[in-house]
Structure formats: structure tokens, C-alpha cells
Chains A and B, each alone.
Chain A
């Protein structure tokens, strides 16, 4: 397509008007010191910390939805799973994570998270989060590293604190790209789905906290339940994609996360199983973890083995597998219902049906479609201990930041605080520079392409092809999550075909325009994901990354990180191997 407005004198609003759509894409310019992209758990905490560190600092959150109920905490949360209970230390915590990920984690990152977990939780409790306490006033624990909370209003509580701190919030502004001068990130562009304008926010430092990526693979539920997925369906990996497009180094995309969830409603199983004596049982009535997987730890095995064992039972004809909740007391059922109303209300709806209560019917469990995520597994920006990315002026925290799995919400808070403190330390000498109108127009043209496609393809049509491709050829649920080189190469080629179709997209309104931009972001994430999956020629994390053509773990060659840097000029994902103890400081 010829970028009309770059050659002629026609202004952007005129161009868009020709295509008869409400979107005018006129520019709103804003300047700030710190720009935070994504107002979820990490983003809100970063903003609160920015104002705490320097009350005079200008800080803006750019948020696609509304910070009061956005991101993966929109439903609420019933436990904080990264917390050091009595007897736990940062050393023990780091070792536990390292074992759980078969030796490949960034210990420096995990350790720095562990050091700040309890303080962050205390801080949010003071903001108004109710935490369950025993008769001594101590937190009620759910295992060594978990506490129970009443977190249904966790997001509104954080959002309130953000507003009280006088942080600027741009709700309904979906980030589209970084403002990047080739050397340094100078801010970000965002499309406002309400007023149809392009927000050009220049900043002295940018913190990316957009979350991970769901919707890369075909959802296991279909029809009107297709979005009842576990990870927020509107976390589409935009933060990853924006970084990929400017050549930021990414790590461990191949360490996908596949949660074991309550079948149908995709509710977390930990609420039922963690810290209880409820057994996993297959269709034959066998306690399969105890009977067949004792060598891996039985009922107390790592969560990755629980997933592996359950899927193997299914595959060998012993499914469905369930958490055997039969016989639960009425009080225990009530407790579970309360816990789930704080986190996943749909399961309570299911249980309210005649014969479906957990005391009467075992809770069926299954695997879900894979997601790319840095908070449970470790896909994300390659960062140093201070949460600098490899691009100047850009810092990362939360699910979008890599190398530190199982950080969960409390770890995301710690990372956000570290990131924003680093950013504030470093912006003293940084001038706020504005990019040229040509640059802004280039981004407008990119967005306008989603409106003007001649073929009139909908984002849903292309999304379906992406989902089928990833599901069948890149180890989705249908393919038992298994990966082979030959299939991954097919996936890579098919993604190229989808990319060629992008020019035919046509959005009918602002909502669809955001969906089109999200699809482009998903494709960029998928492209990098496939490059990572192809490169690691071993099976490091069973199910998450099972290469059936390289079924063994190979510590001699692969005890380290697979990283990538995208080259937009040649449309090539360049892979870089990094040693275990290699951080940005010694690159």
C-alpha cells in the first residue's frame, strides 16, 4: 500500500474519512517523566511507587481497559502464591524455583523478588486488601509459600491508590508501539477506542507492564465459551510485540505455560488441592499420582508433573481425571465457594446446579491451551537485576518480564518497584525529546492499514487460522502439546501466509480496530515463540516444552537460555544463547 499522506499533502483525518469510519486518528500529544504501559498489578504498583519515590514526578499509566478491572486480576484473586511463610528464606525460595524449572532460571532476578515479597504484600494490605488471619492474627497459610486473601476487589484497591497518588491514567488507550529513535525509547503510541484518537505520549522513561499472551493457541473451549479461558483473554502479548518490533532481546518464549485447570470453567485447581488432602483420581478410581507417579513425588509432586501425569492418564485411556472432592463437608464446600467467588465466579455457577456440588461430584481437571507468560513460566524481556531491558529507556516488570518464573502477583509488585526506582534514578540527565511528525504519521499509517483492507477480512477469520496453525503444528492441546521440528517449520511457513493476509484486514469500528492490532501483536509473539521452540533441541520442561524429536533433557548443551532479537529489516528472528549466570552486565 502506498502511504498516501507521506507523499501528498492530505492529512490523516481526511484519509481515514475517505473510508467512512468513525476513527479520525487525530493526535493527542502528552509529555511525562515516567510512562507505564499496562495498568495491571505491576503497572499500578509501579505508579504508586513512582509517586512514593518522588511526589513531584509526572507519571502516566496507559491502559487498554480501565485500571479498576483490567488484566488478569479483573476477576479477583483468592491467594498470594509467592510469599515467604515462617521458615522460608530468599535462598530456600530461589532454590525451590530453580528445582521446579530444572535449573534454568535467572537466580539474580528470582532472589531479588524473594527479598521484597512480604513487604509488598504488607503494603497492599495497608491499601485495604483483606487477608485471612487466624486467631493469633497471623496470616492463614496455604502451604509454605502461599497465603489466603479476600482479593475480589484487589484491582479496585490498587486503582484507588493510583488515583490517590495523583497519577495520570489514560483508560481505554491501547498501546500500539514504542516511540523509538533507534537508540532509546522515547515514549509510546496508544489508540483510544473511545475517541478514535492516537495518543502520542513522550516520556523520559517507559516501564512496560502489559502482561503475557493468551489467544496465541486455539482455546480448548469453543462456541460461546471460547473466552472462558484461565488467563485474561485481553492480555494478548502487546508488550512483547512492541519490544520485538524494536529489537529488544527476549528470553525463554519456549518455556510455555500450560495450566492444569477445572474442566469447562478453567478455574485454578490450587484452591481445592493446595494444602488439602484431596486426592487426584482417574476414571478407574485409581489415585494415579500415588500409584503410578510416586517416584516423581506422588500427590506432593511438582505442579509440572501433576500436569504431565494427568495428561498421560488421559492419553492411556484412564481419563477423565478428577480431584476427588466427594464427601466434602458443607462447611468445606462453603469455604471453597467463597474462595472461588473471589477469583473465578463461573465455577460457583457450575456447582450451584443440581448434582454438581463438589461434595457430590468429583471436580474434573484438564490441561488448557498454552500461554506465553513471565509470571508463571519465564517468557519475556531479557532484563538485568535492576529491570532494565536491552533497549535504553525501557524497563520491564510483571508477566511481560522474563527469567523469573512463579513470581505471581506479589513478585510482579516487587519487580515493578525495582523497575520504577531504577528508571527514576536514571532519568535525571535524560532530556524529553519529541519525534518528528513523519514518525507519528508512520504509526498512523500502520494503524490505518487495519481499516482499509480491500478484501475486508475480519480479525476473527485470521485469528482462527492462527489458532488452528498453532494448535496443530506448534504443540497445542489437540497435538497433546507435543513439538517436532517438521511440524514447527510448517507452523512457521503458515504464519508467513497469515502475515501476508494482514493487509486485507478491515475493521468496522474502533473496537474491531483494537482487535486487529491485537491480532498483529499475537502474530509477532507467535513468530518469536516458534523460533524459540525450534531452537531448543531437548525437552527441558515436560509438556510445556516437549520436543518428541529430542525427548531427553540435555544439560551438556542446553542448561542455559534461548534468547532472541528480531531484525525487522530482514524479518528474521535471530537466536542468541545465553549462559545461566549471564546477565546484561556481562554481555
Chain B
């Protein structure tokens, strides 16, 4: 498994035309399913780039290692603030480590 989408947390990005993860996935792998949740069409096609993990506004997506590399409970979650990316290295529900990294110095507004 490359990403895990927690359907209890995912809100399907409300009434947006498409979910933010669907909008961003460079491989066009995500879609909104009949339960109005984000779903990946093929785990095997995932690049593990983490674009969806960073884009998710409610942190419903965890980056995982594909089992072919290592079967493990460890996952990565990210929260993007204006100037930083806050990463959580998790083991199941336990946050093992938090790493905060500067992401942009841009102060302007998005147009």
C-alpha cells in the first residue's frame, strides 16, 4: 500500500468539483467514490510522491511504504501551513516524531 485514505476523516472536500487530492495527483490516480470519499484507483501506480498527503485539508491521507519494499505500520502525514510543512512520522496512532521544515518565504497572496 502506498497511501492510506481514512474514510472516517475524509470529507470528500464537500461540494468542490473534485477533491483536492484528485486535483493534485500527478498520476491522476485519485477520484471521489460513491461514498463521497477520496479513493485511489491503483495502489501499484502510486509514485509515493506525497502530493495528496500534503494537499489534504483534513489530514485524511497517510503515506505508506509499498509492501514490496517493507510491510510496516509506519506512515507519514503532513500539514502545510503558509510558510512551513509539518511532517508527522507515525506508527499506527502514535506520533513518533514531528519535523517542521521551511517551505516558502513568499508572503504574497495567491491569485
Contact = CB atoms under 8 A, between A and B. Distances in A.
A264 B65 CA distance: 10
A332 B62 CA distance: 26
B87 to A, nearest CB: 5
B35 interface: no
Given A69-B24, A224-B2, A265 B69 contact: yes
A514 B45 CA distance: 14
A511 B74 contact: no
Given A65-B25, A128-B106, A352-B74, A222 B68 contact: yes
A569 B54 CA distance: 47
A349 B64 contact: yes
B25 A337 contact: no
Interface in A45-76: 65-66, 68-71, 74-75
Interface stretch (A27-35, A227-235, A540-548): A227-235
Interface stretch (A100-108, A338-346, A378-386): A338-346
Question: B interface, how many residues as a size bin?
Answer: 35 or more
A337 B99 contact: yes
A242 interface: no
A346 B76 CA distance: 9
A156 B66 CA distance: 26
A227 B45 contact: yes
A348 interface: yes
Which of A130, A163, A356 has most B Cβ within 10 Å? A130
A233 to B, nearest CB: 5
Interface in A395-417: none
A223 interface: yes
Contacts of B103: 130, 150, 152-153
- Grouping DSSP codes into helix (H, G, I), strand (E, B) and loop, the A interface class, with mixed when no group exceeds half, is loop
Interface string A362-381: 00000000000000000000
B104 interface: yes
Contact of B68 (A160, A223, A348): A223
A349 B26 contact: no
B110 interface: yes
B49 A69 contact: yes
A127 B106 contact: yes
Contacts of A21: none
A349 B106 contact: no
Nearest to A231: B47
A491 to B, nearest CB: 25
Given A152-B101, A153-B85, A157-B104, A65 B74 contact: no
B75 interface: yes
Interface of A: 65-66, 68-71, 74-75, 127-130, 150, 152-153, 156-157, 160, 163-164, 172, 193-194, 221-229, 232-234, 264-265, 334, 337-338, 341-342, 345-346, 348-350, 352-353, 356, 511, 514
17 contacts: A74-B47, A75-B49, A128-B106, A129-B104, A150-B101, A224-B66, A224-B68, A225-B66, A225-B68, A225-B69, A233-B47, A338-B101, A345-B87, A348-B87, A349-B76, A350-B70, A511-B41
Interface of B: 1-2, 18, 23-28, 41, 43-51, 53-55, 63-70, 72, 74-76, 80, 85, 87, 89, 91, 96-97, 99, 101-106, 108, 110-111
